[in-house]
Structure 1
Amino acid sequence: MSFPLLTLLWVVPFVAALATAFAGARARAVAMGGALLTLVLGVVAVAAYNSGDGEGFRLTETHEWIGAFGVHYALGLDGLGVLLVALTVVLVPIVLLASWRDTDRAGFFAWALALEAFSLVVFCATDVFLFYVFFEATLVPAYFLIGSYGRSGSGAAALKFLMYQLGGGLVMLASVIGLYVVSANAGSPSYLIDDLAALDISETTQRWLFIGFFIAFAVKAPIFPLHTWLADTTEKATPPTSVLLVCILDKIGTFGMLRFCLGLLPDASAWATPVVVVLALISIVYGAFLAIGQDDLLRLIGLTSLSHFGFITLGIFTLTPEGGSGSVLYMVNHGVATAALFLAAGFLIQRRGTSLISEMTGVESRAPILAGLFLVAGLATAGLPGLSQFVSEIMVMISAFDYHWLAGVVSVTGIVLAAIYVLWAYQRIFTGPWGGRAAGGGGPAGQADGTSPPGIGAEPASAEPVAVNDLGRREIGVLAPLTLALVLFGFLPGPLLDVVNPTVDQLIEHVGVEQDGPTVAIAEDTTTEEGH
C-alpha cells in the first residue's frame, strides 16, 4: 500500500499524547480529539483490510531499518491483528470519557494515548525486532498509569508489575537473538515474519526459542504460575487503567502465542501442547476459585481474567481451527465485557467510597441503571447464552473436548464457577436493604458541596451516608456502546469469525497437526449409469 495508513494509525495517538502532556487546561479536548481521530483511522484500516483479498498480511509497509541485522520497520494486518486493532481504537476513547472528571487529567490522558500508540505498533508489526522494541515500550506508560494514578499502595503494585514484565521480556530477548542466529546461518539475517516462517528450524532449536517466547507471553497474558502481579495491579490501579492493561495490553500475550509460537515455531508448539493445556486448565479453575473468595471488587474482576486467559490459551493450544478462532473471538469479547465490568465497578466505587463488597448492599434500589448494566457485563463475563462471550467459550470448550474429554470437563467447571462469583458478587452488592457507606457525588451534578467528584474508582476520604445518584448521561454513554456490543456479537459473531478464520486456518495448517475430532461422512454415490 503506497499510503502509510498503519504508520499514521500509531503516530496520531503518539503525537496526541505529547500534545496532551503540554496542553494544560485543554488536555481533555486534545486527548479526546487524538483518540477519536485514531478511531476514524482504525475504522478506515479495518474497511481497507476487508476490501482486500489474498492470504497473508495486507496494508503492508516495509522499510529497511538496521540492514546488518536484517531489521525492518515493517507493518501489516491479518485477521488476528485487525480485530485487536479495532478493539484498541474503540476502548481508548471510552476510557478517556470515563475519566473525564478525574484529577490530573493531562498526565493520565497522555500516558493512555502513548500506551495506545505502542500497542497498535505491536499488533501491526511484521518484524520480530520491531515487535520486541514496542513490546517493551508499552511498559513505560503502563508503569506510570499504575503508579502515578492508582489508589493507595499503587507504587508497590506498579513496581511488581514492571519487574514481572521486564523479566519476561529479557527471557524473550534471548529468543529474539536466537532467531537472528538461525536466519543468519540460513544465508541472510532477517527478522521479517514471512522470512522466518519459511525457514527450516531444527526441532531442538525451536523448543528453546519457544520457551523464551512463551514465558514472556505467559507473564503478559497472564497464565498460572506467572500471574501473581495481576490481582495486585487491578486492585491498586484505577478501573480505567485496568481496562487499558487487562483489555488491551494483556492481549499482547495471547496474540504473541498465535503470531510467534504457532506461526514461527510449529513443531515446538505441538511438543509443548500437553504442558500448556495443563497450565491453561489450572488457570481456568484456580482463577475462578480465587475470584469467589475476594472481598475487594477490583481484585475479584482482575482474577476473573486469569480464568478467562486460561480459556484463551486453552483454545490456542488445542491446535484446532475452532479453538484458534474461538480464542481470537474470546480476546475481543473478553476485552469488551471486562471493560464494561471494570468501568461499572469504578462508577460504583466512586459512589460508595469503598471497593469492599462487604461494605456495600442494596445499591439496586438507589442506582437501578448502574445495577442493570453491571449485571449485563457480569453475565457476559460468566458466559450467558445470548451475550458475546458465550460463543467464544463454546468454541473453546468444543475444541477442548476434541483434544481430550478431561480437558473439556475441567473447562466446563470454569463456567460453573464463573456463574458463582458473578451472581454472588451481584447479590451482595446490589440486592437487599440499603446499607454500608456512600461517598457523595458521582452523579452528573458532582458532590453535595459543589466540588469536583472524585476520580473513577477512587476512595474518597468522606464516608458519610448521603444519597447516591444513578448513572449520569456521560456514564451511560461510556457503558452503552460496550453493552450493545455484548448483545450484538452474542447474536451475530459471524462477521468477526469471517475476518479471523482464514488467518487461524493458515496457522493451524502451518503447525501441521492432524485433527482427531468428529467428522461428518459423505455418502457415496451409488447411482448406476442407468439412473438406478
Structure 2
Amino acid sequence: MEDFPWLSVLIALPLVGALVVGLLPRGRDALVKQVAFGVSLVVAVVAAVMATGFDTSGDRFQFTEKYWWIKAFGVHWAVGVDGVALVLILLSVILVPLVILASWDESGRSGGVDTPPKRSVKTYFALILGLEAMMIGVFAATDVFLFYVFFEAMLIPVYFIIGSYGGAQRSYAAVKFLLYSLFGGLVMLVAVIWLYPLSAKSVSDGGLGHGTFMFQELNKMNVDPTTAKWLFVGFFIAFAIKAPMVPVHTWLPDAAAQSPAGALVLIVGVLDKVGTYGMMRFCLELFPGASKWATPVVLTLAVISVIYGAVLAIGQVDLKRLVAYTSVSHFGFIVLGIFAMTSQGQSGAALYMVNHGFSTGALFLLVGFMIARRKSARIDAFGGVQKVAPMLAGLFLISGLSGLSLPGMSTFVSEFLVLTGTFTRYKVPALFALTGIVLAAIYILWMYQRTMGGQPKEQVTGMKDLSLREKWAVGPIIAIILVMGFFPQPVLDVINPSVKQTLVRVDKHDPAPKISGNVAENGARP
C-alpha cells in the first residue's frame, strides 16, 4: 500500500465526518456524539496503521503526495511527513476522540457549566472534527502556500468554538484570538508571497525558471542575507504569536479562561505546537543564516517566557488561566531547545511538543470536570477535593507532577534534553531557565494544596468522583505520560533523523565535549 494516499485520506475523513454530523437531524444529540466519536476513532486507527509503515532509516519525507492545485502560481497539493510531523499528527488524532468523550455532557453548554446552550450539539462536534482535519493538514503540508492555507483555516473552527461555547466574555476572547492570529498570518503571508519570485531565480543558484512553494525546493534557495532576515522575521512573528511567546502571548490566557475545557485541550495541546513546529521546520531550514543571526534575541525571549509565564501562573486565582500561563512557560523551554541548535536540544524540543500536549491536555480535562461540578473556575471555590473525590484528586496530582517535570513523567525527559542541549552551547540562558523548574514546583504544588488538600468546603462535600466515561477520557493520557516517562526511546527514534537533517541544513554540530585542561578532542595531550 505504498501508493495509498494516507495523508489525504486522514485529512478528508474528519471533514466528511463533520459534514455527516452537520446533516444529522436536530434533536438527535446522542447520535451526533456517537457518529463524531466513531469518526475520530477511525481517523486514529488509520493514522496508527500509517505510522507503522514509517521507516526511520528511509527518506526524510514519507507518505508523500504531490498534485497541481493552482498551476499558474506554482501551488501544489503536496503532503508528506517526517518524524516530527508524524508524532504531532499522532498527538492530534489521539487527543480528539478523548476530547469528544470528555465533552459528552458539556458540549451544548456555554463555558461547560449549567447554562443554556448557545449552539447546537452537532455544531460543536462538527467544528471539532473540522479542526482535526486542519490540524492534520498543517503538519502534513510540504507546500508552503498549502501550509499557510491550513494555518489560517484553523482559525475558523476555533473562533466559533470560543465565541459560541465559551464563558461570559467569550466574544472578547474570540475576537482577541482572531485579531492576534490574523495579524501574524498576514505578516507571514507577505513573506510567503515574497518567496515565489525569489525561488524562481535563486533555487540551486541557477534558478528553476518558475516560482515554487515546495519546501524541498525552497530549501535549496540562496537568498541574500538582508532579504533572508526580513523573511525570517515574517515567519517568526506568526509562529511566536501561535506558540505563544512573550510578549505576544496575551491572547492565550483570555482564550483559556473562556473556552470549553475540551476544546481548550486542542487549542493549547495541539494548535499552539504549530508555532514551535513552524520555527523548527521553516524558520531554521529556509533561513539558516538569519536563524543564527536572530538566535541571541530568540533565546532571550525564550528565557523570559519561561520565567514570566511561571511567575504569573503562581499568582492566578482562575484554574484555566493558571494552566494557560504554565504553557507560556513550557513553550519557552521548547523554543529554547529549538534555537540551541544541538541534537539534544532539538530532540528534546520536539519530544516536549508531544509530551506537553498530553500533560496539559490531562490537566485541562480534569479542570473541566471540576468546573462542571462546582460551576466555578476559581481556585478558592475548591478545597478538600481529595477526601470526596479521590480518583479525581489522584489523577489531578499525576497530571500536575507531569506539569512540573517530575522524574518518571514524560515531560522530565523532554526538559532534561532541552536544558542539557542548551547548556552545551549557551550556558547562561540554560542557567536562567533552570529557575523555571523551581517556579513550576511552586505553582503546581500550591494549586494542588489549595484545591485538593485540607478539609472539604461545604460546597465541595457533595462533589462526585469521576464517572466511567470521564475515566476513559483521561485515563489513556495518564498511561501515555507514565509509559513515555520510562520508555521514550521509540518516539525519539522517530524524531531524531529529522532533527539531524535540520542541523545539517543550519550547518550546526554538537559542541565537542571538553574533558579537562588542555586535553585535545582525540584525548591526546599536546
TM-score under structure 2 length normalisation = 0.92
2:131 to 115, 121, 142: 115
The alpha-carbon deviation at position 515 of structure 1 amounts to 3.7
Aligned residue identity for 2:89: V
Q: Which residue of 1 aligns with 2:349?
A: 327
Q: Is the 8 A contact 2:309 2:329 kept in 1?
A: yes
What SS does the corresponding residue of 1:72 show, helix, strand or coil?
A: strand
Q: Which residue of 2 aligns with 1:228?
A: 250
What SS does the corresponding residue of 1:59 show, helix, strand or coil?
A: strand
Aligned residue identity for 2:446: W
What SS does the corresponding residue of 2:485 show, helix, strand or coil?
A: helix
The alpha-carbon deviation at position 519 of structure 1 amounts to 5.5
CA distance in structure 2 between the aligned counterparts of 1:479 and 1:519, rounded to whole angstroms: 45
Q: Which residue of 2 aligns with 1:264?
A: 286
1:154 paired with 2:170, answer: yes
Aligned residue identity for 1:191: F
Equivalent residues in 2 for 1:234-313, closer than 5 Å: 234-313=256-335
Q: Is the 8 A contact 2:245 2:302 kept in 1?
A: yes
1:216 paired with 2:238, answer: yes
CA distance in structure 2 between the aligned counterparts of 1:305 and 1:315, rounded to whole angstroms: 15
Q: Which residue of 2 aligns with 1:14?
A: 15
Q: Which residue of 2 aligns with 1:166?
A: 182
1:23 paired with 2:24, answer: yes
1:86 paired with 2:90, answer: yes
Q: Is the 8 A contact 2:342 2:422 kept in 1?
A: no
Q: Which residue of 2 aligns with 1:496?
A: 491
Q: Which residue of 2 aligns with 1:394?
A: 416
Q: Which residue of 1 aligns with 2:478?
A: 483
Q: Is the 8 A contact 2:503 2:509 kept in 1?
A: no
Q: Is the 8 A contact 1:61 1:74 kept in 2?
A: yes
1:100 to 89, 99, 104: 104
Aligned residue identity for 1:16: G
Q: Which stretch of structure 1 is more off in the superposition, 210-219 or 179-188?
A: 179-188
CA distance in structure 2 between the aligned counterparts of 1:390 and 1:416, rounded to whole angstroms: 13
CA distance in structure 1 between the aligned counterparts of 2:183 and 2:491, rounded to whole angstroms: 34
Aligned residue identity for 1:64: W
Aligned residue identity for 2:74: G
TM-score under structure 1 length normalisation = 0.91
Q: Which residue of 1 aligns with 2:505?
A: 510
What SS does the corresponding residue of 2:66 show, helix, strand or coil?
A: strand
1:4 paired with 2:20, answer: no
CA distance in structure 2 between the aligned counterparts of 1:328 and 1:45, rounded to whole angstroms: 20
What SS does the corresponding residue of 1:361 show, helix, strand or coil?
A: coil
1:183 to 199, 203, 213: 199
1:35 to 22, 40, 48: 40
Q: For 1:363-410, what per-residue CA distance to the aligned partner results, in whole angstroms no more than 9, with x for missing partners?
A: 110000000000000000100000000000001111221222211111
For structure 1, the residue ranges without an aligned partner over 5 or more in a row are: 439-465, 525-532
CA distance in structure 1 between the aligned counterparts of 2:426 and 2:41, rounded to whole angstroms: 45
1:62 paired with 2:78, answer: no
Q: Is the 8 A contact 2:343 2:510 kept in 1?
A: no
Q: Is the 8 A contact 2:76 2:146 kept in 1?
A: yes
CA distance in structure 1 between the aligned counterparts of 2:464 and 2:510, rounded to whole angstroms: 55
CA distance in structure 1 between the aligned counterparts of 2:458 and 2:357, rounded to whole angstroms: 31
CA distance in structure 1 between the aligned counterparts of 2:276 and 2:459, rounded to whole angstroms: 40
CA distance in structure 2 between the aligned counterparts of 1:153 and 1:122, rounded to whole angstroms: 29
Aligned residue identity for 1:109: F
CA distance in structure 1 between the aligned counterparts of 2:92 and 2:18, rounded to whole angstroms: 15
Q: Is the 8 A contact 2:60 2:497 kept in 1?
A: no
CA distance in structure 2 between the aligned counterparts of 1:471 and 1:100, rounded to whole angstroms: 14
Q: Which stretch of structure 1 is more off in the superposition, 506-515 or 176-185?
A: 506-515
Q: Is the 8 A contact 1:295 1:357 kept in 2?
A: yes
The alpha-carbon deviation at position 265 of structure 1 amounts to 0.9
Aligned residue identity for 1:39: A
The alpha-carbon deviation at position 523 of structure 1 amounts to 5.1
Aligned residue identity for 2:404: A
Q: Is the 8 A contact 1:79 1:503 kept in 2?
A: yes
Alpha carbons of structure 1 residues 436 and 338: separation in structure 2 relative to 1, 3 Å: farther
1:207 paired with 2:229, answer: yes
1:473 to 456, 464, 468: 468
CA distance in structure 1 between the aligned counterparts of 2:427 and 2:11, rounded to whole angstroms: 44
The alpha-carbon deviation at position 352 of structure 1 amounts to 1.6
The alpha-carbon deviation at position 54 of structure 1 amounts to 2.1
- How many aligned positions are there? 497
CA distance in structure 2 between the aligned counterparts of 1:436 and 1:92, rounded to whole angstroms: 35
Q: RMSD over aligned Cα, in angstroms?
A: 1.4
CA distance in structure 2 between the aligned counterparts of 1:515 and 1:53, rounded to whole angstroms: 21
For structure 2, the residue ranges without an aligned partner over 5 or more in a row are: 109-119, 202-206, 516-520
The alpha-carbon deviation at position 225 of structure 1 amounts to 0.4
Q: Which stretch of structure 1 is more off in the superposition, 486-495 or 19-28?
A: 19-28
The alpha-carbon deviation at position 56 of structure 1 amounts to 1.9
What SS does the corresponding residue of 2:54 show, helix, strand or coil?
A: helix
CA distance in structure 2 between the aligned counterparts of 1:244 and 1:126, rounded to whole angstroms: 22
Q: Which stretch of structure 1 is more off in the superposition, 261-270 or 20-29?
A: 20-29
CA distance in structure 2 between the aligned counterparts of 1:400 and 1:302, rounded to whole angstroms: 25
Q: For 1:73-115, what per-residue CA distance to the aligned partner results, in whole angstroms no more than 9, with x for missing partners?
A: 0000101100001000000000000011222421111101100
Aligned residue identity for 1:121: G
Q: Which residue of 2 aligns with 1:144?
A: 160
Q: Which residue of 2 aligns with 1:48?
A: 53
Q: Which residue of 2 aligns with 1:452?
A: none
CA distance in structure 2 between the aligned counterparts of 1:87 and 1:404, rounded to whole angstroms: 30
Q: Is the 8 A contact 2:340 2:426 kept in 1?
A: no
1:129 to 129, 145, 159: 145
CA distance in structure 2 between the aligned counterparts of 1:404 and 1:507, rounded to whole angstroms: 19
What SS does the corresponding residue of 1:435 show, helix, strand or coil?
A: coil
| Percent identity over paired residues | 49
Aligned residue identity for 1:184: A
The alpha-carbon deviation at position 55 of structure 1 amounts to 3.0
